[in-house]
Amino acid sequence: MAETPWGPYDNPLLSGSFGVLQSEAASRAGTADIWQALRINAATWRWQSQGGGVLPSLADLEQQGREILSAEGVTIQHVNQYRQIAGEWRAAKERLQQAEQGQQITAGEIWQPPWAKTADASTPARYQVRVQWQITLPTGELQAIRGTYEIGSPLTSLNDVIDQARGMAGQKPTSDMPLGSKITDVLDYEITQI
């Protein structure tokens, strides 16, 4: 396997499917389920990129996905490496969510993927905070929305990070928060070094 700037984790198909691996890690899926999800994801992506049409059956998607993974050189070793990274993501997220709101954030609560650009000591650290907010719409309805925010300052407490994200939530030009909505709760959150 060729060495890349972020180590041996350079399989474009698995890099592009990393969200699938994160989802499977979050649900603590077994090996067979992970492979099935990767096959279906690869085949569905190809189907969509070719213009859609009639969606193939699940069995056809799995077979096409098997062929795609094989053609792209995806091996059990590749999947295990990416699966380990996804497990590290899940563990850091779980530790962060177990932290008290005023507690100092530690390195173990921040996911640092091997491809993080600010992991070098000579580069100022930057972080990406992903938050799922519960908002109250002007109509009074509750809705869940997600937002991603970049923080370049040192991380202190969880309260501080959430407050910074809350401050940025309504200011983004592409904000998903409708005008007149109010954040009423924080449903989910994670921090990644970028």
The stretch 86-106 carries a mean pLDDT of: 94
Q: Note whether 34 and 91 are same-domain residues.
A: yes
Q: Last residue of some domain: 68, 98, 128?
A: 98
pTM of this prediction? 0.81
State pLDDT tens for residues 161-191: 999 999 888 766 456 778 888 999 999 999 9
Q: Are residues 111 and 90 in the same domain?
A: no
Which amino acid is located at 2 in the chain?
Answer: A
Same domain for 94 and 113: no
Q: Which of 37, 66, 98 is the last residue of a domain?
A: 98
From CA 14, how far away is CA 85, in angstroms rounded? 11
Residue 3 lies in a domain: no
Lowest mean pLDDT among 3-7, 72-76, 164-168, 182-186: 3-7
Q: How far from 177 is each of 87, 160, 169, 173, CA to CA, in Å? A: 31, 21, 8, 10
Full residue range of the structural domain in which residue 163 is found: 107-193
Of 56, 77, 98, the domain-final residue: 98
What digits encode the pLDDT tens for the residues 100-127? 888 899 999 999 998 888 767 777 888 9
- What is the C-alpha separation between 38 and 81, in angstroms, rounded? 14
